[in-house]
Structure 1
Amino acid sequence: MLRKRVYRSKKILGKIPGSIIYTGDRSKEKLFIDTFDYGKDFCTEKELQSVQESFEYKDTDSVTWINLNGLNHVDQIEALGKHYALHPLVLEDVVNIAQRPKIDEYDDYIFVSLKMLYYDDEQQIVSEQVSFVLGKNYVLSFQEAEGDVFDQVRNRLRQSKGRVRNMKSDYLLYVLIDAIVDHYFSVIEILGDKIEDFETAIFSGAVDDDISQKIQNLKREILRVRRAIFPLREVINRIEKNESPLIQKKTITYYKDIYDHLIQVSENIDIYREMIWSLMDMYMTTISNKMNEVMKVLTIMASIFIPLTFIAGIYGMNFEYIPELQYKYSYFILWGVMIIMFLGMLYYFRKKKWL
């Protein structure tokens, strides 16, 4: 089914830079805010009713993760940004879901935006923008709607697994980005399975009538994933080379690991992209081969019946005098000649391996 293209840029054309305008379609999403405030020996999880309740975490000695779901609530986002002294252009990028992965560095915080990819229940790929603001002792995350890939991170915080409770906010940002990147592997694994299924179907000849449309849809999915992942390599590379005091040197090694994962994912995407083009070529070749088989059969049938038709045409003419017609066994002789010609041509075609 074809989907109508939505031009999100129309919502922000002509607007003043820094205007906080939500460009998505989920305008009825409820506001949901949850926080994790933790240290080495404690972890407090709390669901907030408004952003004002999060203001108390700004200057604490603990590390706080404030996660906001519902980018359509621009007034709440603006209030949160005002309290944490976020630049208006940062808030504009938060609610502009068409934003490419990027990083902006400021004196007191670092802004990172990237895409979270996953498949929904209908096996349609979903690309959701996630934005992070890294401060001295906090990480703010902004999502378009509830549902994400951070459940394992939450469990690690609750159960004090790994290093996250012993590290600063820069490590928390790494853990959150790493969870998104790790999920990229699940997405490309599903893409790989789809490509293999198409290859099997094409080689076996068990293809649907809309196979070409399905291949085109799969190609669009590959391109969508590629657009989401490739710019992220530059973001992580800039974090590695960042000299901001917000990111400790010992944490840089972990970000290098994310970069290695992105390189691996990118290589797989390039391979799958080439395989998609090959799938279309294989499908067109299969169709061409089938057409050639049909034309070969028709050509052989025509080659057999052309001389037979020629003979039948001669003796079917309405001339008054045709000597052979007066002979008693002409009919049977003509049948014999035609059968011998038919069998002889079949033998010749088989010998040439045309049949």
Structure 2
Amino acid sequence: MTTWYGYSGGKLAKAAAGSPVEVVVAPEPDEIQELVKRYGIDLHDLHSALDPDELARVESETDHLVLILKLPCNYTGEGKLLFTVTSVGMFLFKSRLLVVSPNEVEFSGDKVMHAVKDVRDVMLKIMYGIIDHFLGHLKVINMLSESLEKRMTESMGNRYLMDMFALEKSLVYFVNGLSSNQVVFEKLVLETNKVRLKLTKARFDILEDVVTENRQCQKQAEIYSDILMGLMGAHASVVNNNISLLMKRLTVISIVFMPLNVVAGMGGMSEFSNWTSGVPWYLAYGIFLVSLVPLSFLTYLILKRSGIDRGESETLKRTAMLRSLPRIPGRDRPKRRKGDIK
């Protein structure tokens, strides 16, 4: 799909064919050949813009500049909670800009760019759009991780653990993509590229802001990644602890019933009938069954005095106390805003 953009009165808007900015999304093979003939660009560079595994880079050709950047893929839900990244290519000529990508491209940066007068302004808006796209997905990943954290404390299964692993994998992709973009942005800030791009002082300041915003976004993704790694390790420890507590309870139950089994085995022998030959059978067996109750209670008291369940009781008390504490202001989950997932 091909969309043309032009700028009039300082605003970027869709325009007729032949306008200065051409955005091509998921081109067909015949469209790729047409772009190569029309703009005289290298076929390898064009395929690199459509390759999700291509690293971000900047190259200078005779009459144009090639920028390959990474941006998040639009979330579809087919990969469950897996967020991936893809590539976008910008081919900057003197008065034209060709943008090629497998996914739709966003234009942002209206707060710092009040007017669009040149294709270089459009290029900077796309860079801001890429960073905003990353930030939007990071907010969604943070909300999903908080929701999974609450569910993981109540479950011993692998479902939520696999969801956390998918989010951790997504953050690895994001950190790699942001770091790759950072290398390209820092190269563009160099004086030689500044002259080649023909950036004015105002545009160069905006480019430096792009470098700063991308660095902050990368740092945020790294922090989220570290938190998820720690959370997954904590979940594994919680599961092991729950299994230990379960085995402990089963052990206590078996110990309580062990003396009862011994006494019940003695009652099932023929010697018991000989011992109670002078007593009616219903009275003898009734007394025998009633005596099992205080015996089991006495066994439980002995185990309790020995402190075998003291650790579990203290853990339950601490958990109940923490749940009764008031919530810390400012830690409520942020509401999902429209447009977080693109």
Normalising to structure 2: TM-score of the pair?
0.75
Shift of 1:208: 6.5
1:198 to 148, 151, 156: 148
Q: How many residues were matched structurally?
A: 300
Which residue number corresponds to residue 129 of structure 1?
Answer: 87
Aligned AA (2:26): G
Supply the distance in 1 between the matched residues of 2:211 and 2:48 (Cα, whole angstroms): 23
Shift of 1:293: 2.6
After superposition, where does 1:97-176 map in structure 2 within 5 Å? 97-120=52-75, 122=77, 125=83, 127-145=85-103, 147-150=104-107, 162-166=113-117, 168-176=118-126
Q: Does 1:34 align with 2:4?
A: yes
Q: Does 1:316 align with 2:285?
A: no
2:23 to 67, 72, 86: 67
Aligned AA (2:171): I
The worse-fitting range, judged by mean Cα deviation, of 124-133 and 103-112 is 124-133
Aligned AA (1:345): T
Supply the distance in 2 between the matched residues of 1:44 and 1:115 (Cα, whole angstroms): 24
Aligned AA (2:83): I
Q: Does 1:276 align with 2:246?
A: no
Which runs of 5 or more residues in structure 1 are unaligned? Answer: 1-30, 49-53, 58-63
- 1:242/1:89 CA distance change after superposition, 3 Å: farther
Supply the distance in 2 between the matched residues of 1:106 and 1:94 (Cα, whole angstroms): 16
Which residue number corresponds to residue 77 of structure 1?
Answer: 32
Shift of 1:315: 4.1
Q: Any idea what the Cα deviations from partners look like across 1:271-306, whole Å, max 9, x if unmatched? A: 222222223223323322332232122111111111
The worse-fitting range, judged by mean Cα deviation, of 110-119 and 255-264 is 110-119
After superposition, where does 1:1-355 map in structure 2 within 5 Å? 31-36=1-6, 38=8, 45-48=14-17, 54=18, 64-72=20-28, 74-120=29-75, 122=77, 125=83, 127-145=85-103, 147-150=104-107, 162-166=113-117, 168-203=118-153, 205=154, 210-244=159-193, 245=195, 246-248=197-199, 250=201, 251-319=203-271, 324-326=275-277, 328=279, 331=285, 334-335=288-289, 337-351=291-305, 352=307, 354=309
Aligned AA (1:306): M
- 1:83/1:346 CA distance change after superposition, 3 Å: same
Shift of 1:236: 0.5
Normalising to structure 1: TM-score of the pair?
0.72
- 1:163/1:135 CA distance change after superposition, 3 Å: farther
For the 8 Å contact 2:21–2:96, the answer to whether it is kept is: yes
RMSD: 3.2
For the 8 Å contact 1:233–1:263, the answer to whether it is kept is: yes
Which residue number corresponds to residue 330 of structure 2?
Answer: none
Aligned AA (2:59): D
Q: Which has the higher contact order (CA 8 A, sep 6+)?
A: 2
Share of identical aligned residues, percent?
Answer: 14
Aligned AA (2:53): A
Shift of 1:81: 3.3
